[in-house]
């Protein structure tokens, strides 16, 4: 297994993995356009085993004026293929994302949202619960 940046050919597999959260009507070309256009802001990474994409996750860089020039990163879109869970892909993915943040060299904090049942998984990487999340649905 290895961790790498997402490429155009990964899009069909990533679409399948992200259907864990919701299905999209966008075409593969539209999805790749979004990945490419917003790369400076949001980067997708995968874990590959043999020829298969077994996990996906993304990193969002959020600039905050009151922490300028440092950056708050968000880990998002973490999914491991259901059949591949429990084999270390999730650990490789999250560690890979944290390594990317370290290499960027400008982070003061990393945040993520998760279900309570995943808190112990993220706790293994040093994440701690902090406050509550609130949201308002627009669509
Ligand atoms: C959560 C998820 C990413 C874990 O991936 P995984 O590949 O099964 O995890 P790993 O095999 O790499 O496990 C790494 C470690 O975390 C532990 N772990 C895995 N899932 C866990 C969970 N839900 N709660 C607590 N610990 C967990 C493993 O036991 C392992 O511990 P160890 O290293 O001490 O032996 C995966 O179950 C998943 O994709 N779930 C559905 C999507 C999801 O919920 N994503 C998170 C959205 S924020």
Is 138 inside a domain boundary?
no
Residue 89's CATH number: 3.40.630.30
What is the distance in A from the centroid of ligand 1 to the CA of 86?
A: 6
- Written as tens digits, the pLDDT of the chain (139 aa) is 999 999 999 999 999 999 999 999 999 999 999 999 999 999 999 999 999 999 999 999 999 999 999 999 999 999 999 999 999 999 999 999 999 999 999 999 999 999 999 999 999 999 999 999 999 999 8
Q: Is the CB of 67 under 6 A from ligand 1?
A: no
Chain position carrying tokens 């990193």:
59
d(CA 73, CA 26): 26
**Is the CB of 74 within 6 Å of ligand 1?**
no
Alpha carbon nearest to ligand 1 atom 2, residue: 90
pLDDT at position 85, please?
98
Backbone angles phi and psi of 44, in degrees to 5: -100, 140
pLDDT of residue 35: 96
The 10s digit of each residue's pLDDT in 47-67 is 999 999 999 999 999 999 999
Position 139 scores a pLDDT of 86
Task: Specify the ligand 1 atom closest to the Cα of 114.
Answer: 48
Edge-to-edge order in the sheet of strand 71-80:
2-5, 42-49, 52-63, 71-80, 107-111
> Considering the domain boundaries, does residue 133 fall inside one?
no
Instruction: State residue 67's pLDDT score.
Output: 95
Q: Which domain holds residue 7?
A: 2-123
Phi–psi pair at 24, nearest 5 degrees: -120, 150
- Token representation of residue 62: 């959020």
Residue 128, in any domain of the structure = no
Distance CA 38, CA 109 (A): 21
- Can you give the pLDDT at residue 100? 98
In a domain, 100, yes or no: yes
- Residue 32's pLDDT is what? 97
Please tell me the distance from the alpha carbon of residue 36 to that of residue 18, in angstroms, as a whole number. 17
Helix, strand, coil fractions of the chain, as percent rounded to 5: 35, 30, 35
Q: Is residue 130 part of a domain?
A: no
**Domain count within the chain:** 1
Helix (H, G, I), strand (E, B) or coil at 34: helix
Return all residues near 52 (Cβ < 8 A) that are at least 6 apart.
13, 81
**Residue 30, in any domain of the structure:** yes
Residue 27 covered by a domain: yes
């Amino acid at each position: 297994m290895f961790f790498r940046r997402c490429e155009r050919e990964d899009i069909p597999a990533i679409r399948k993995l992200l259907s864990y959260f919701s299905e999209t009507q966008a075409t593969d070309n539209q999805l790749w356009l979004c990945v490419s256009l917003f790369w400076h802001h949001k980067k997708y990474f995968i874990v590959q085993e043999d020829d298969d994409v077994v996990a996906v996750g993304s990193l969002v860089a959020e600039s905050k004026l009151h922490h300028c020039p440092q950056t708050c990163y968000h880990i998002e879109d973490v999914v491991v293929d259901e059949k591949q869970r429990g084999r270390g892909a999730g650990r490789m993915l999250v560690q890979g994302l944290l390594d990317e943040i370290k290499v960027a060299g400008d982070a003061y904090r990393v945040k993520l949202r998760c279900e309570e049942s995943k808190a112990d998984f993220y706790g293994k990487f040093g994440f701690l619960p902090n406050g509550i999340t609130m949201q308002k649905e627009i669509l």
